[in-house]
Structure formats: C-alpha cells, structure tokens
C-alpha cells in the first residue's frame, strides 16, 4: 500500500516471535497499519499487527445453577480486542447457565457481536432433582 500522509506515525520495535529478533518498522496513518518493514518471516508481520491492535484470549468463569460446581471455566474461541475485555467481563458476570455442561459447549454465541464464542473448558454435572435459584446462590 502507498502511504497517503494522513496523520502518519512510525513505530519501531523488535519482534520476539522467533530467534531472529527482527527490527520492525510500522507506518500508521489514522491509526491504521499502512506498511510493515523489517520482518524476515511472515510471523513478524502478524506480531506487528498484534502489537498495534492487541488481542487476548479471555479466560474466566460463568455462574452455574443445578450443578455440582458453582461456576464453570470458560474461554473465548478466538482472541478478542484487549480494550474490550472489561466490557466482555461485565457481560459474562451476568451470565448464568444450567448444568449439565460439557467441555466445548457454547456458553455465549457471538460475544459482543465479535463473532467469537465463549466455550466451556470444564465439565459440570447436574444435581439430580435439585434446582438452585440463581438469585439466591452466590
């Protein structure tokens, strides 16, 4: 891509993905990547993109009713923008699921409209003939 000189800014940093330690230069215009230079392998470009627009896999827990555990561990199916983690945590703090739950079950489909699902990472068995009121359970 050719630079268009709208609020240009150059960032320099060292890639840490492989032992080469390439010195990367990233040209930004209007906070968008226009050019990445200095990477000797394709992983350097991906590293630079992730440094400019950081993403993280979110790992947390969600409340469970009628289960042998009070919560189930979950994680996002793909990394989400780092700046949206507080909003995602607030949303997930209000989610309550009913047991039984299997590893890989989709707990939330399309978290925050990002096209990323929240998946169970642990099995939770259901209690037999007992239903706990989620408003009372803590």
Answer for the pair 81, 58: CB distance below 8 angstroms, yes or no.
no
- Could you give the percent of the chain with pLDDT greater than 70? 88
What's CA 61's distance to the chain center, in Å? 14
Q: Dihedral, CA atoms, 24, 29, 30, 34, nearest 10 degrees?
A: -70
User: pLDDT at residue 93 above 90?
Assistant: yes
User: pLDDT at residue 132 above 70?
Assistant: no
What is the DSSP pairing of strand 118-120 with strand 106-108? Answer: antiparallel
The predicted structure's pLDDT at residue 1: 45
In tens, the pLDDT along 29-51 reads: 987 889 999 999 999 998 998 88
What is the C-alpha separation between 59 and 118, in angstroms, rounded? 9
Cα radius of gyration (the chain): 21
pTM: 0.72
- What's the rounded mean pLDDT across residues 107-117? 97
Stretch(es) of the chain classified as CATH 3.10.530.10: 59-120
Tokens for 134, please give them.
């989620």
Q: Which fold has domain 59-120?
A: CPE0013-like fold (3.10.530)
């Amino acid at each position: 891509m050719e630079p268009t000189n709208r609020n240009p800014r150059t960032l320099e940093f060292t890639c840490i993905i492989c032992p080469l330690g390439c010195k990367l230069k990233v040209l930004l215009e209007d906070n968008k990547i226009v050019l990445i230079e200095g990477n000797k392998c394709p992983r350097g470009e991906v590293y630079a993109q992730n440094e400019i627009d950081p993403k993280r896999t979110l790992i947390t827990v969600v409340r469970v009713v009628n289960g042998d555990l009070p919560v189930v561990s979950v994680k996002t199916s793909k990394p989400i923008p780092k700046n949206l983690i507080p909003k995602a945590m607030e949303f997930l703090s209000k989610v309550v699921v009913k047991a039984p739950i299997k590893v890989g079950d989709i707990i939330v489909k399309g978290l925050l409209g990002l096209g990323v699902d929240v998946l169970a990472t642990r099995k939770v068995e259901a209690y037999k003939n007992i239903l706990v009121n989620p408003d009372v359970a803590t």
